[in-house]
């Protein structure tokens, strides 16, 4: 798969330890930031071990001032039973010990004006094969272009510090990946998403996620080979931009008054989150396929959810505006507020 | 796949029309029976057409006396884009027009002492290939061995009228099919489930659902070839036993008093129903893969659902009894009440 591996592109000997340490301190950092933001609830931690190798620490906050439920999970697993989805792409990885680590987070606020947010950054290594993946996406129940633009600008700034092509490709990838085909809706206002980032001089590969990101990546004829360290630096920078991107949005919306109507709509829309995670999400499927810890994998599911047959929002309401404006890919960076 | 097709085993020329007519009258019959049982709410019908061919009629009841939400869906679809899951098994079916019809139902009662129930009977035909499938399974929130036994006895009686091997094999198949691997739990107390029933002299084939049913089927060395009509008669008999099996159970439990504790547990357990339908259910996946009508496919999802991180029932409670006794395969027919 990697024809020539220069020294520059090989991971350092302690790559796994470096990433693992970062993923844990990143978990610490966002948990501290979210506790400060919430001001009431604290995270409770469960440490767990996986029978076939590895383990993790799951942290959950419930009944907070802002967060009805929030989960931040660090895991580090290894084993020889690679899931079929990865074996298909890398048949040469069969019968080798794989290593995967990452930190993921989903927050379900109580106030319907505060958006749900998800992030996940992860690293995978087996033999000579390695890659980073991850991203962050925002799911509002009531949309504010100002919030979408602020989030995207913050993520773009992190991307642009490393490569000007990152943001446009990873933004398109996010729009396409977090898409509910059976609903014809994006999950929310997007953000960034990337996978299989390694030294191969190609931004997008090995996935059927996004024809648009693939085209944009193919158009970059002189995209350079990157070292392990360069990509790791980029991932750390993205991760580090989460609190900067989300906390101001949550603070701006946290005191917006709401009633039964807004709450009902939030519970209904949370159903889409469940549908996405159980039907499409690669992290969830990887976890269930590798006998991960079910409670940690499904920590992302909302505390309370409603399904209503054939619901459609009334025209010219904030609810219909969500569908018309915010559940479609938009150029938030250049949005005219 | 079918080496020799005798006249006996070929479907009649009007097979599709016969099954379609039955599936519609079956929908009428169970809707009438459920409206009578509920006594308050009525089903509302949506007729819909599928762009690539076919359509259906979805009937939903909400806010009834017994049923918080109930959906009964008839559909009849055809087209040339066979889903990958079926193409894998029948590559010779590629580029032929397939036909699929069926009636499915899920009921979500409000009272946690009344069990949720699901049924689905279906028929598939493409070229020379045809089969019937379906089943019925019961999901209690608070378990009663008496109810489980009554249901199984009613289903066994319907099966036994056609072949003494049906019930044991289809009961085992149901236990294995309605199993949440990531939870280590059956969906409920089971019932019967079968698929790919045609004239090939084999009860179980073409699926990885149930090693136990496969073994039992392999042990039947003299299992006979069956005609299309024989299998259709059997399916009609199974379908006809639904009201007989479920109505007495619902009537027996409908007035049991309950409080917040039982309601909370019901909402929590409904999460398992969502997990099963979105992660494992063949009907749901077939529907989403064939661009079915999303609202009709996901009509089965509960009206209100709760997820709670790492919940475990207190020992020696009715809730823990559900896990220990009712979410495991049991020999309900010979259960000592």
pLDDT tens, position by position, A232-254: 999 999 999 999 999 999 999 99
Is B47 in contact with B156 (CB distance < 8 Å)?
A: no
Q: Is A46 on the interface with B (CB under 8 A)?
A: yes
pLDDT at B7: 54
Q: Which of B46, B62, B307 sits opposite A303 (nearest CB)?
A: B307
Alpha helix segments (H runs only) across B99-227: 145-160, 166-177, 211-219
* DSSP per-residue codes, B62-76: ES-SSEEEEEEEEEE
Tell me the CA distances in angstroms from B321 to A48, B140, B175, B324, B325, one per residue in order. 26, 12, 18, 5, 6
Q: Tens of pLDDT along B31-42?
A: 999 999 999 999
> Could you tell me how far CA A279 lies from the centroid of its own chain?
16
Q: Tens of pLDDT along B85-144?
A: 788 888 888 889 999 999 999 999 999 999 999 999 999 999 889 999 999 999 999 999
> Which of B305, B308, B311 to mutate to probe the A interface, most A CBs <10 Å?
B305
Write out residues in chain A with pLDDT < 70, as ranges.
Answer: 1-8
Identify the active-site residue in B81, B108, B118, B162.
Answer: B118
DSSP H/E element including A248: helix A242-253
Tell me which residue of A109, A108, A80, A137 sits closest to A281, measured CA to CA: A137
Tell me the CA distances in angstroms from B293 to A6, A57, A181, A309, B13, one per residue in order. 52, 40, 12, 12, 28
Using 50, 70 and 90 to split pLDDT, how confident is the model at B2? Answer: very low
- The pair of structure tokens assigned to B106 is 């899920």
Q: Cβ A302–B299 below 8 Å, yes or no?
A: no
Residue B233 lies in a domain: yes
Distance, CA of A247 to CA of A251 (rounded, Å): 6
Q: What is the CATH number of the domain that holds B155?
A: 3.40.1500.10
Q: Write down the residue that tokens 């019809």 correspond to.
A: B101
Nearest-by-CA chain B residue for A289: B182
Residue A104 lies in a domain: yes
Task: Quote ipTM for the complex.
Answer: 0.94
Residue B156 lies in a domain: yes
Residue B236 lies in a domain: yes
Is B329 in contact with B175 (CB distance < 8 Å)?
A: yes
Q: Tens of pLDDT along A172-202?
A: 999 999 999 999 999 999 999 999 999 999 9
Tally of CA atoms within 13 A in the half-sphere of A295 that contains its CB:
17
Residue B296 lies in a domain: yes
Q: Is A322 on the interface with B (CB under 8 A)?
A: no
Residue B33 lies in a domain: yes
Distance, CA of B80 to CA of B95 (rounded, Å): 6
Q: Rounding to the nearest 10 degrees, give the CA dihedral for residues B16, B19, B23, B26.
A: 160
DSSP H/E element including A130: strand A129-139
Domain extent at residue A259:
8-326
Q: Which of A46, A267, A275 sits opposite B278 (nearest CB)?
A: A275
Phi, psi of A186 (to 5 degrees): -70, 160
Q: Is A335 on the interface with B (CB under 8 A)?
A: no
Please tell me the distance in Å from B122's CA to the nearest CA on chain A.
22
The pLDDT of residue B4 is above 50? no
Secondary structure (3-state) at A98: strand
Exposed/middle/buried for B203, CB within 10 Å: 0-12, 13-18, 19+?
buried
- pTM recorded for the entire structure: 0.95
Q: Tens of pLDDT along B323-333?
A: 999 999 999 99
> Could you tell me how far CA A15 lies from the centroid of its own chain?
22
Distance, CA of B91 to CA of A302 (rounded, Å): 41
Q: Write down the residue that tokens 């009709």 correspond to.
A: B296
Tell me which residue of A141, A113, A66, A119 sits closest to A244, measured CA to CA: A119
Q: Average of pLDDT values for B158-177? A: 98
Tell me the CA distances in angstroms from B93 to B19, B79, B82, B286, one per residue in order. 21, 12, 8, 16
- The pair of structure tokens assigned to A34 is 């979210």
Number of C-beta neighbours around residue A158 at 10 A? 23
Number of C-beta neighbours around residue A293 at 10 A? 22
Q: How many domains does chain B have?
A: 1
Residue A334 lies in a domain: no
Distance, CA of A76 to CA of B64 (rounded, Å): 48
Q: Cβ B309–A295 below 8 Å, yes or no?
A: yes
Is B321 in contact with B182 (CB distance < 8 Å)?
A: no
Compute and round to an integer the Cα radius of gyration of chain B: 19
Q: Is B279 on the interface with A (CB under 8 A)?
A: yes
Q: Rounding to the nearest 10 degrees, give the CA dihedral for residues B30, B34, B35, B39.
A: 160
Please tell me the distance in Å from A130's CA to the nearest CA on chain B.
27
Q: Cβ B182–A302 below 8 Å, yes or no?
A: no
The pLDDT of residue B199 is above 90? yes
Tell me the CA distances in angstroms from A179 to A137, A140, A175, A322, one per residue in order. 11, 14, 7, 15
Q: Are strands A44-49 and A54-62 parallel, antiparallel or unpaired?
A: antiparallel
Q: Which B residues in the span 240-269 are in contact with A, Cβ-Cβ below 8 Å?
A: 267
Q: Average of pLDDT values for B257-284? A: 95
Q: Cβ A304–B304 below 8 Å, yes or no?
A: yes
- The pair of structure tokens assigned to B51 is 């762009």
Phi, psi of A292 (to 5 degrees): -70, 180
Number of C-beta neighbours around residue A329 at 10 A? 15
Q: Write down the residue that tokens 């109810």 correspond to.
A: B147
Please tell me the distance in Å from B131's CA to the nearest CA on chain A.
27
Chain A residues closer than 8 Å to B310 by CB: 46, 60, 295
B118 is catalytic: yes
Distance, CA of B141 to CA of B138 (rounded, Å): 10
Is B101 in contact with B286 (CB distance < 8 Å)?
A: no
- The pair of structure tokens assigned to A77 is 């697993």
Q: Cβ A294–B182 below 8 Å, yes or no?
A: yes
pLDDT at A6: 52
Residue A196 lies in a domain: yes
Q: Write down the residue that tokens 């992290």 correspond to.
A: A283
Is A186 in contact with A329 (CB distance < 8 Å)?
A: yes
Q: Write down the residue that tokens 């990838």 correspond to.
A: A173
Q: Is A270 on the interface with B (CB under 8 A)?
A: no
DSSP H/E element including B186: strand B185-186
pLDDT at A5: 47
Nearest-by-CA chain A residue for B305: A305
């Amino acid at each position: 798969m990697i024809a020539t591996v220069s020294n520059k592109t090989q991971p350092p000997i302690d790559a796994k330890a470096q990433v693992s340490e970062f993923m844990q301190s990143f978990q610490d950092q966002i948990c501290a930031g979210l506790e400060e933001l919430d001001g009431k609830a604290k995270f409770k931690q469960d440490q767990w071990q996986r029978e076939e190798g590895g383990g993790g620490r799951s942290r959950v906050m419930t009944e907070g001032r802002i967060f009805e439920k929030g989960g931040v999970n660090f895991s580090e697993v290894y084993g020889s039973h690679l899931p079929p989805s990865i074996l298909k792409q890398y048949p040469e990885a069969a019968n080798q010990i794989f290593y995967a680590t990452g930190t993921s987070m989903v927050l379900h606020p109580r106030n319907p004006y505060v958006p749900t947010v998800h992030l996940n950054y992860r690293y995978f290594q087996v033999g000579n094969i390695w890659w980073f993946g991850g991203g962050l996406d925002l799911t509002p129940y009531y949309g504010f272009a100002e919030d979408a633009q602020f989030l995207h600008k913050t993520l773009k700034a992190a991307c642009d510090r490393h490569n000007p092509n990152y943001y446009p490709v990873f933004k398109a990838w996010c729009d396409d990946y977090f898409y509910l085909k059976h609903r014809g809706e994006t999950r929310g206002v997007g953000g960034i998403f990337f996978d299989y980032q390694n030294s191969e001089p190609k931004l997008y590969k090995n996935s059927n996620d996004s024809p648009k990101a693939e085209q944009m990546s193919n158009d970059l004829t002189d995209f350079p080979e990157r070292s392990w360290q360069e990509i790791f630096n980029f991932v750390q920078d993205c991760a580090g931009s989460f609190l900067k991107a989300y906390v101001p949005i949550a603070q701006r919306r946290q005191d917006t008054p709401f009633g039964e109507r807004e709450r009902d709509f939030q519970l209904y829309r949370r159903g889409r989150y469940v549908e996405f995670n159980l039907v499409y999400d690669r992290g969830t499927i990887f976890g269930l396929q590798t006998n991960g810890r079910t409670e940690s994998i499904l920590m992302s599911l909302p505390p309370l959810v409603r399904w209503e047959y054939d619901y459609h929002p009334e025209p010219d309401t904030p609810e219909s505006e969500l569908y018309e404006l915010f559940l479609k890919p938009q150029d938030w960076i250049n949005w005219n507020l």
